[in-house]
Amino acid sequence: MIIQYPVVFTKINDEKDTYLIEIPDLKGITEGYGLADAMKMAKDYIKCYCFDKAYKDLPKQSSIEEIDISKGVFSKDGNSDISIVDVNI
């Protein structure tokens, strides 16, 4: 089963190329180093959160238009972008 959730990636300006990650529909946060690692961490969070839940019990997936990144957890920490992340669970 493939599921999709919007994910907010906030790049902070540090030497590790850190991205702070928020998954609003799951009330989840994590981080990654570099964009590829950040994407991997977002997928891992989503997989772990949804692993043992039936499809009908998963939180509703918001559309990108419903997410206001200016009100995100990390909005003041750097430059934020939003993307839909899909995961096969």
Does the CA dihedral 19-31-83-70 come out positive or negative?
Answer: negative
Does the CA dihedral 51-2-54-38 come out positive or negative?
Answer: positive
Structural domains of the chain, with CATH: 2-88 (3.30.160.250)
User: Tokens in use for 72?
Assistant: 């995100």
- Going by pLDDT thresholds of 50, 70 and 90, the confidence category of residue 1 is confident
Contact status, residue 34 vs residue 19, Cβ threshold 8 Å: yes
Give the pLDDT score at 64. Answer: 94
Distance CA 54, CA 69 (A): 29
pLDDT over 90 (residue 45): yes
pTM for the model: 0.94
Distance CA 26, CA 49 (A): 8
pLDDT over 90 (residue 30): yes
